[in-house]
């Protein structure tokens, strides 16, 4: 295990697939590969969903070949296909990128809407207080609108993520009840993760979902689990990037994760 200290708030350790073992520690996040690797088109990872389930019960990610958006909630793993239609993921499938937590929230806040997306994120910031904190979060409630996207399954040779995102499918769910799950990482984690908020949505009836681009909240309850540690599994050939990223990578993350 290589130890690297990104900052005093978040301790990051990396490991290889052969070193994987079930972990059930609160406030420790687990991640398969890195966002930088995904941006470069590393769409085939070596961690199965059976193994992922030994590292957390809530989170997000994607599937090998970038086959849709993944949502993990209450220990179930769901895939939202390119049209945002949801089905359960088979334990034998693998992921090129996923982040998980054993969700044990310590902060809970009710949000009264209507809240536009920016305002919603500012309210979440206020709940978390410290701008450098890392949190797993879950927001359950009613949404007047959720604009989400999913991505089509890719064929090798893989193109970089910001090119694939040009083919993303954007869809809008109106007056929908459901859950947003995801993470807030400090800006300095950009590259290893997505700095800021990364949220995936799944409807209460578990039929629709995707990567959240924008929403309008009617009313909701936000729960935060503050994390102090991140364990990153690195597939062959993938290294842990230095957190000091160049401008080009930051712009690629912006294009791939926040636009649509
Ligand atoms: Zn996403």
Per residue in 196-254, pLDDT (tens digit) is 999 999 999 999 999 999 999 999 999 999 999 999 999 998 888 655 456 667 777 78
Which pLDDT does position 154 carry in this prediction? 96
Confidence of residue 190 (pLDDT cuts 50, 70, 90): confident
Ligand 1 mean position, distance from CA 102 (Å): 19
Ligand 1 mean position, distance from CA 25 (Å): 24
Ligand 1 mean position, distance from CA 185 (Å): 13
Ligand 1 mean position, distance from CA 6 (Å): 22
Nearest to 184 by CA among 140, 117, 131, 233: 131
Look at residue 7 and tell me whether its pLDDT is greater than 50. Answer: no
CA atoms of 165 and 62, how far apart (whole Å): 13
Tokens of residue 178, six digits: 């459901």
The answer to whether 197 touches 135, Cβ cutoff 8 Å, is no
CA atoms of 248 and 27, how far apart (whole Å): 31
The values of phi and psi at residue 180, to 5°, are -105, 130
48-82 exposure pattern, b = at least 16 Cβ within 10 A, e = fewer:
bbebbbebbbbbbbbbbbbbbbbbbbeeebbbbbb
Which pLDDT does position 246 carry in this prediction? 62
Confidence of residue 2 (pLDDT cuts 50, 70, 90): very low
Ligand 1 mean position, distance from CA 60 (Å): 7
What's the predicted TM-score (pTM) here? 0.93
Q: Please state which of the ranges 41-55, 97-111, 211-225, 246-260 shows the lowest mean pLDDT.
A: 246-260
CA atoms of 72 and 135, how far apart (whole Å): 16
Nearest to 229 by CA among 256, 197, 203, 192: 192
Highest mean pLDDT among 12-21, 60-69, 124-133: 60-69
Which pLDDT does position 212 carry in this prediction? 98
Which pLDDT does position 245 carry in this prediction? 52
CA atoms within 13 A of residue 187's CA, in its CB half-sphere: 6
Domains (ranges, CATH) in the chain?
1-260 (3.30.1330.80)
DSSP state of 98: E
For 127-134, what is the mean pLDDT? 84
For 22-37, what is the mean pLDDT? 93
Q: CB 233: neighbour CB atoms within 10 A? A: 24
Q: What percent of the chain has pLDDT over 90?
A: 77
Look at residue 136 and tell me whether its pLDDT is greater than 70. Answer: yes
Ligand 1 mean position, distance from CA 200 (Å): 6
Ligand 1 mean position, distance from CA 129 (Å): 24
Confidence of residue 58 (pLDDT cuts 50, 70, 90): very high
Ligand 1 mean position, distance from CA 258 (Å): 9
Ligand 1 mean position, distance from CA 118 (Å): 18
Please give the residue that has the higher pLDDT: either 255 or 126. 126
């Amino acid at each position: 295990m290589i130890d690297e200290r990104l900052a005093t708030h978040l301790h990051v350790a990396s490991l290889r697939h052969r070193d994987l073992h079930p972990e059930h520690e609160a406030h420790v996040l687990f991640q398969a590969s890195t966002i930088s690797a995904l941006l470069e088109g590393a769409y085939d990872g070596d961690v199965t969903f059976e193994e992922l389930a030994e590292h957390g019960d809530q989170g997000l990610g994607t599937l090998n070949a970038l086959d849709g958006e993944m949502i993990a909630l209450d220990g179930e793993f769901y895939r939202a296909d390119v049209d945002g239609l949801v089905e359960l993921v088979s334990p034998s499938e693998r992921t090129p990128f996923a982040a998980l937590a054993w969700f044990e929230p310590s902060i809970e806040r009710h949000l009264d809407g209507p809240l536009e997306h920016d305002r919603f994120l500012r309210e979440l910031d206020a709940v978390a207080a410290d701008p450098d904190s890392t949190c797993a979060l879950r927001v359950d409630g009613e949404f007047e609108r959720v604009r989400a996207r999913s991505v089509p399954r890719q064929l090798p040779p893989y193109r970089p993520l910001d090119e694939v995102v040009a083919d993303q499918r954007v869809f809008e769910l109106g007056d929908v009840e459901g859950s947003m799950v995801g993470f807030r990482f400090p800006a300095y984690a950009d590259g290893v993760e997505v700095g800021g908020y990364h949220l995936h949505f799944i409807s209460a009836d578990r039929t629709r979902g995707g990567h959240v681009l924008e929403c309008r909240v009617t009313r909701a309850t936000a729960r935060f689990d503050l994390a102090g540690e991140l364990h990153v599994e690195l597939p062959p050939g993938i290294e842990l990037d230095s957190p000091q990223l160049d401008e080009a990578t930051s712009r690629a993350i912006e294009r791939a994760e926040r636009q649509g």
